[in-house]
Structure 1
Amino acid sequence: MQDTGTLAVGVFVESFPFVVLGTLVSTAVQLWVPQRLLFRLLPKSAVLRRAVLSLLGVLLPVCECGNVPLARGLLRRGLSPAEALTFVFAAPLLNPVTIITTYQAFGFDHGILLARIIGGFCIANLIGAMFATANSPERLLQPDFAASCNHAHTHDDVSGGKLGRFGGTFAAEITLLMPALAIGSLLAGVFQILLTQDSLLPLGSHPLWSVLVLIGLAAIVSVCSTVDAFFILGFASVFMPGAITAFLIFGALIDVKLLILLRTTFRAKTLALATLIALLSTAAIGFGVNLLNA
């Protein structure tokens, strides 16, 4: 029980500053970035717009959990759910800190770094493209959050001082997100205790099973994308390069902690479909990397 608590606290402490930073930026976007300016800066083409939003991770070097509050702010500024999901999934993989730490851990060996960057970008935009076809985009969102977005679109000019509005909005967002982060961190701690490294090692040399095993590990351990390369480096002598690649891609896209945070904004069906797309796409990339390195 003590080990579970220690692991859970570790995940929470690692994620907390990024969630706070993301919430600060989100609050600033909601209050002080005019909707017309945001849309003027983005391409009119839906495909290009999602691609540009993917690159926001270059400008905001936080891990995946810190991008959730910013995505909420962008949704309230009028972005579609498909565009917000593209940003959430692409940004941590294109984060310069993530790229640098991955290079420090693996260099250009086995194509791991390039596969992580290019593969992650493609998967995020594939998820966005799939949800862009939804007949009722608002049904991808939690009803309460969708209602708050409609309210925000029609109440841009709110009375009160700027600092007071900023503090109130920040407090409301952080109050909603912190319990989700705590629950996600606790679940990650429990799962890490239940899963032993010894049970994974026999599958490390199989071109497909090794990929699936490390995808599962990535979802469970919930390590932030800015440091996950150093975590998985210890497995590199046992697991194939494609499995390492799959861990690095999928862990930045989907993990227990992130799903709990995203549940504050998106419906469970939305997240289940996004997880399935990410799982199948990551497995294909990981298997492909293994074949290329055979």
Structure 2
Amino acid sequence: MVKVIGRNLSMELPKYFQDFITLSLSVIIEALPFVMLGMFFSMAVRVWLPHDWLLQHLPKQPFLRRALISLLGVFMPVCECGNVPLARGLLAKGLTPAESLTFLLAAPILNPVTIITTQQAFSDDTTVLIARILGGFLIANLIGWIYSSTRQDAMLRPEFVASCKEKRDNSNRLVDALHFFKHETRTMMPALIIGAMVAGLIQVVVPRETILLLGNSPAWSVLVMILLAFVVSICSSVDAFFALAFRGTFTSGSLVSFLTFGPMIDIKMLSLMRTTYRRTVLVQVSFLVVLLTALLGLVVNYVF
């Protein structure tokens, strides 16, 4: 039991409060390096990348274009939370909101760090690795295609759109870089902290025993692991080893759903994405990802 000791004061913190602090801090500590890396990438993209360079080198055909965008994570192996500031930079350079969603959903799964850790954790079960890679690619591109027919300016928060239209003096790129980094820090850090605190609170409130009780059902196990992925908000670069601990209790399909859903949508990720996308878009995308990752898990359970 942790004790808080001051002058003439000794107080023991309740265990649930200790757990809340520990879990919240663990999410922040795990995500912070990747958020910072993503902000540096975003800063570089917005300040030093020539304005039309990215658009000129992407295919014109929409399906090929989104497919290539979904593979950008191979070259920029940033965790999901770091991809949000990076996606903001890419949006400012000309990607459409639908294309940025494709990148955000695919990049945390289709990057070398995530692929290697998944292969190491499930080295004797290639089904999990292949289903995660193909599932992540297909779901991201399907959602990107769905939103490509939506009015693009209606997907973004007005505050973000206004920040993209700011005119900066390109004669001093270092000053511009510091300006963007300061703006991203003030936007991302509160979102990260709030998301981590909500994730920590839910993990304290929801009994782990209730989750484990449903682990052997081919259908219920998928839904339970999707819920668990949403709550624990663990980084995609290490989530395979976390999922490995449930291998003897949960079905393979449920583990695939966990490993696919978590990098795309979790509490921390939604809090960060809220800085850029409108609430209605995030609710719709979350619902679609739940349906598609659940379908993926059921296919693995019943077909393989």
TM-score above 0.5? yes
Find the aligned partners of 2:173 and 2:160 in 1 and give their Cα distance. 23
Task: Measure how far apart 1:38 and its partner are.
Answer: 1.1
Find the aligned partners of 2:162 and 2:96 in 1 and give their Cα distance. 14
Amino acid at match of 2:29: V
Q: What is the RMSD computed on CA atoms of the aligned residues? A: 1.2
- Equivalent residue for 1:11, pick from 4, 27, 42: 27
Q: Where in structure 1 do 4 or more consecutive aligned residues deviate above 3 Å? A: none
Residue 35 in 1 paired to residue 51 in 2? Answer: yes
Residue 242 in 1 paired to residue 253 in 2? Answer: yes
Map of 1:217-236 to 2, 5 A cutoff? 217-236=228-247
Name the residue aligned to 1:53.
69
- Number of matched pairs: 288
Give the secondary structure class of the aligned counterpart of 1:225.
Answer: coil
Name the residue aligned to 2:3.
none
Q: Deviations over 1:238-280 (max 9, x none)?
A: 0000001100000011000000000000001101111111110
Return the TM-score normalized by structure 2.
0.92
Amino acid at match of 1:142: R
Residue 78 in 1 paired to residue 89 in 2? Answer: no
Amino acid at match of 1:10: S
Q: Deviations over 1:2-46 (max 9, x none)?
A: 110111000001000101100001011011111221111111111
Amino acid at match of 1:168: H
Task: Measure how far apart 1:202 and its partner are.
Answer: 2.1
Name the residue aligned to 2:10.
none
- Equivalent residue for 2:281, pick from 270, 285, 293: 270
Give the secondary structure class of the aligned counterpart of 1:238.
Answer: coil
Name the residue aligned to 1:64.
80
Find the aligned partners of 1:142 and 1:104 in 2 and give their Cα distance. 40
8 Å CA contact 1:211, 1:283 repeated in 2: yes
Task: Measure how far apart 1:146 and its partner are.
Answer: 1.8
**After the TM superposition, which of the residue ranges 162-171 and 181-190 deviates more from structure 2?**
162-171
- Equivalent residue for 2:188, pick from 150, 164, 177: 177
Task: Measure how far apart 1:160 and its partner are.
Answer: 4.8
Residue 261 in 1 paired to residue 272 in 2? Answer: yes
Find the aligned partners of 2:109 and 2:192 in 1 and give their Cα distance. 20
Name the residue aligned to 1:148.
163
Find the aligned partners of 2:124 and 2:68 in 1 and give their Cα distance. 25
Identity %: 50
Tell which has more relative contact order, 1 or 2 (C-alpha 8 A, sep 6+): 1
Amino acid at match of 1:212: L
8 Å CA contact 2:218, 2:251 repeated in 1: yes
Task: Measure how far apart 1:108 and its partner are.
Answer: 5.0
Find the aligned partners of 1:95 and 1:22 in 2 and give their Cα distance. 14
8 Å CA contact 1:55, 1:91 repeated in 2: yes
Task: Measure how far apart 1:110 and its partner are.
Answer: 5.8
8 Å CA contact 2:52, 2:93 repeated in 1: no
- Equivalent residue for 1:161, pick from 161, 168, 172: 172
8 Å CA contact 1:61, 1:97 repeated in 2: yes
Task: Measure how far apart 1:159 and its partner are.
Answer: 4.4
Find the aligned partners of 2:90 and 2:212 in 1 and give their Cα distance. 42
Name the residue aligned to 1:112.
128
Name the residue aligned to 1:215.
226
8 Å CA contact 2:97, 2:156 repeated in 1: yes
| Bigger CA radius of gyration | 2
Unaligned runs of 5+ in 2: 1-16
Task: Measure how far apart 1:120 and its partner are.
Answer: 0.6
Return the TM-score normalized by structure 1.
0.95
8 Å CA contact 1:145, 1:265 repeated in 2: yes
Amino acid at match of 2:190: P
Give the secondary structure class of the aligned counterpart of 1:92.
Answer: coil
Name the residue aligned to 2:296.
285
